[in-house]
Amino acid sequence: MIGLDFFKRDFLLHGDKHLLTAGEALSSGIWIKGEAVRRFEHQWAEYCGTKYSLGVGNGLDAIELGLQALGIGDGDEVITTAMTAFATTLAIINRGAIPIFADIDPETCCINVESIGKCLTKRTKAVLAVHLYGRPLEVDDISAFCRSNSIEFIEDCAQSHGSKSQGVPVGSFGTFSAWSFYPTKNLGALGGDAGALCSNNKELIEKCRALSNYGQDRQYEHNLRGRNSRLDEIHASILCQRLGNLNEWISTRRSIAARYRNEIRNTQITLLRDEEPNTFHSYHQFVVKCPRRDKLKSHLERNGIFSVIHYPIPCHQQKALGINSDVLVRLPNTERHAAECLSLPIHHMMREDEVEIVIRACNSFEANDL
């Protein structure tokens, strides 16, 4: 099946050097909070165009820690999207804050100032927006909106490693940005979780550093109620190494996306709008829309292609929100997208002949297929 063994191929190609570098990190004798983590934090901040970065356990923790450090919690409202991984919403509700869902633009699948503006109240503390599928948000508009309403702009960058707006990396526009290095992301850790925060605010990063380490500033001195969410030396050393390939991997993703855009020709299948001028889409996902999505998915499967739905149940309809009935709203664009979207295989280990097979299968799909 196309789309199921990309990790195996990645490891065949890069595994030896990753194991070697992990071994070197361990042989230094410092197994936690050592040189590899410091090096990765430095390199990641540089890549994201921010002054500081902090390695943490995963992307969910990165958002939660940042919210906590900003003092966003009980009863505070955070405007966000429901078309995202549930982790985005979970971070808000885990803090005791209330997610207020803005509807998406159906052509970009992202929220924008127009929909965000409708959600603003006196209790709004922040906008937590997602560069969904790797597509850069309208960062200037959203930043300006947040500034003029004295609320924080927070970027969930878990899907947008390497994306840019006007040549500037995403993740450098908000008060802080949260990153995930879950293995499936554009930059993924090997067989484990990892995450990071980026910011130009040193105090904020240092507060998150303490919070991620049981809330201690100095050893055994706990001034904050923190948690345990640290990046480890093994993953940090491997991430440093993989970061060296990231731009090349993204350009492979972009050429696959360009072929899909040029060669998929089927009136049943709608593509999302192309990247806006002056933006750089990193194509974490290549998503199409089809009114008979489930039939398209089975058709692809019969042609040996594995596709995924991002996301079948939007956050505002997830049962985990149940207790909070005041967040149950109708989001027509989001709900329609959830019913029609399908992510085609796209990965830095995908071969040209496989791209060809996907295109042919898309073009041979007929709505009345079994």
Ligand X SMILES: *Cc1c(COP(=O)(O)O)cnc(C)c1O
Write out the residues near ligand X by the rule CB under 6 A.
58-60, 84-85, 87-88, 130, 156, 158-159, 180, 182, 193, 195
Query: Shortest Cβ distance from residue 137 to ligand X (Å)?
Result: 12
Beta-bridge partners for 165: 168, 279
| DSSP class per residue in 262-296 | HH---TT-EEPPPPPTTEE---S-EEEE-TTHHHH
Distance of alpha carbon 296 from alpha carbon 286, whole angstroms = 15
Contact criterion met (CB below 8 Å) for 288 and 346 = no
Rounded Cα distance between 224 and 211, Å, is 7
Eight-class DSSP state of 152: E
Q: Work out how close the CB of 184 gets to ligand X at its nearest, in angstroms, rounded to a whole number.
A: 8
Complex with ligand X: residue 55 or 269, whichever CB lies closer: 55
For residues 194 and 305, which CB has a smaller minimum distance to ligand X in the complex? Answer: 194
Residue nearest to ligand X (CB): 59
* Choice between 104 and 269, CB closer to ligand X: 104
The label of the residue with tokens 């990190």 reads 25
Of 97 and 264, the one with the shorter C-beta distance to ligand X is: 97
In the complex, least distance from residue 20 CB atom to ligand X, rounded to whole angstroms: 25
Beta strand pairing status for 124-130 and 77-81?
parallel
Cα gap 16→273, rounded to integer Å = 40
Neighbouring residues of 203: CB distance < 8 A, sequence distance ≥ 6: none
Residue 284 C-beta: closest distance to ligand X, Å: 8
Closest approach, Cβ 368 to ligand X, in A, equals: 35
Q: How far is the CB of 157 from ligand X (least distance, A)?
A: 8
Closest to ligand X by CB, 195 vs 226, is: 195
Nearest of 207, 244, 243, 201 to residue 224 by alpha carbon:
207
Q: Is the Cβ of residue 93 or residue 158 nearer to ligand X in the bound state?
A: 158
Kindly tell me which of 115 and 268 has the beta carbon lying closer to ligand X. 115
Q: Which residues, in sequence order, are CB contacts of 2 under 8 Å at separation 6+?
A: 304, 305, 306, 345, 350, 354, 357, 358
Q: What's the min distance (Å) between Cβ of 359 and ligand X?
A: 26
Sign of the CA dihedral with 359 first, then 361, 364, and 369 last: negative
CA distance 208 to 231: 13
Burial class (CB in 10 A: 0-12, 13-18, 19+), 192: middle
CB 316 to ligand X: min, Å: 15
154 vs 240, which CB is nearer to ligand X? 154
Residue labelled with tokens 């049962």? 319
- In the bound state with ligand X, the residue whose beta carbon lies nearer, of 201 and 343, is 343
- Residue 312 CB, shortest distance to ligand X, in Å, is 15
Q: Taking a C-beta distance cutoff of 8 angstroms, is the pair 58, 182 a contact?
A: yes
